[in-house]
Amino acid sequence: MNGEEKTSTRRPWTRLETLVAFEFYLVTPFGKFHRSNPEVIKLAEKLERTPSALAMKLCNLASLDTSLAATGLVNVSQLDKSLWQEMESDWESFFEEIKSASMSLLPDSLPLESADSNMSCEGLERAVMSQARVGQMVFRRAVLTAYDQKCCISGLDIPLLLRASHILPWAKDKANRLNPMNRLCLSSIHDQAFDKGIITISEDWRLRVSPLYKDVKQGFFRSTFLEFEGIRITLPKRFIPNQEFLTFHRDNIFQR
C-alpha cells in the first residue's frame, strides 16, 4: 500500500497528537489540507504519520466545523468530537492546551509569535499569564488564517499591521475572550476605531461610521474610514462573527 497505514495496524491517535493536528487545522487555509501540501508532509513526518493519515485527520476535523460546508465523514473518532466540544465550551483553556501540546511534541518546530498587543491579560494571575499568552498566539494565527491574512475592511495584507480585534471587550465576557467568533481581522487603525466606537459593523455586514464623525474634513480620516462607509466587510472562511456580539457593540460601544 505504498507505505500507507493499514487498517489492521493503524496506530490510534493520541490526545496530544490530535491537539497538534487541531492546531494545524486552525491555522491552515481549508484548501491546503491535502497530502501533497509540503507543510502537511513536514508535520506528518514529525508525528511519524503518513501525509495521507494527517490529511484524513484534518478532513475529519473539518467535517465537525459547523462554519464550513463540509460533509460529515463516517470515520470521525470520538476523540475528534470530544475535542471540538471542549473547544466550544472553553475556548481559552483549549487554545492554551493545543499550544502546550505542540510545544511538548514539537519543541523546536513551531516558531513563537508575539500575541497581539491589544490582547490584554489584565485580571489574570501572574503565574498563568505566560500560559494565557501562549494560547493567544494560536488564537491570533487562527483568526488571521480565517480572514486570509487581510483586514476585513481595507484588505490590508501585512500581518504585522493586523489585529485579531475583539468585538465584546476583554473584560466583558471571559468565556468568549478567545472565541474566534468574537474577533474581526482589522488593521491597527481600524482596530482602534472599532474599539473606541468610531466605527461598527451593521447586521448586514456593512461598515458604519459614527454620526459624530461624518463631517470630519481631514483627508486621512475620510480615506481611511468615510470612504468605506456602507461597504460590506469581507467575511472569514470560518468562524463568522457572532451577530449577538456585534449587536452588543452597536448598542453599547458605538458612538451615536
Distance CA 214, CA 177 (A): 31
Q: Grid coordinates representing 159?
A: 500581518
Helices marked H in 125-205 = 126-146, 188-195
Higher pLDDT, 186 or 68: 186
Q: Give the pLDDT score at 103.
A: 86
pLDDT reading at 220 higher than 90: yes
pLDDT reading at 64 higher than 70: yes
Q: Give the pLDDT score at 207.
A: 98
Higher pLDDT, 104 or 127: 104
Q: What average pLDDT does range 195-223 have in this prediction?
A: 97
Nearest C-alpha neighbor of 193 from the set 204, 205, 203, 184: 184
Q: What percentage of residues in the chain have a pLDDT greater than 70?
A: 82
Q: How many helices (H) and strands (E) does the chain have?
A: 9, 4
Question: What own/partner pairs with CB < 8 Å and gap ≥ 24 does 126-130 have?
Answer: none
Q: What average pLDDT does range 162-168 have in this prediction?
A: 95
The pLDDT confidence band at residue 124, using thresholds 50, 70 and 90, is very low
Higher pLDDT, 137 or 84: 84
Q: Which of 63-77, 192-206, 213-227 has the lowest mean pLDDT?
A: 63-77
Q: What percentage of residues in the chain have a pLDDT greater than 90?
A: 65
Q: Grid coordinates representing 103?
A: 510545544
Q: Give the pLDDT score at 107.
A: 77
Q: Grid coordinates representing 181?
A: 467568533
Q: Give the pLDDT score at 118.
A: 46
26-56 b/e with 16+ CB inside 10 Å = b? bbbebeebebebeebeebbeebebbbbbbbb
Instruction: Read off the pLDDT of residues 114-123 as tens digits, 9 standing for 90 and up.
Output: 334 444 444 4
Q: What average pLDDT does range 246-255 have in this prediction?
A: 97
Instruction: Read off the pLDDT of residues 8-39 as tens digits, 9 standing for 90 and up.
Output: 357 899 999 999 999 999 999 888 999 999 99
The pLDDT confidence band at residue 76, using thresholds 50, 70 and 90, is confident
Q: Which of 35-44, 66-75, 76-85, 246-255 has the lowest mean pLDDT?
A: 66-75
pLDDT reading at 112 higher than 60: no
Query: Is residue 238 a contact partner of residue 146, using CB atoms and an 8 Å limit?
Result: yes
Higher pLDDT, 87 or 119: 87
pLDDT reading at 127 higher than 50: no
Distance CA 147, CA 158 (A): 12
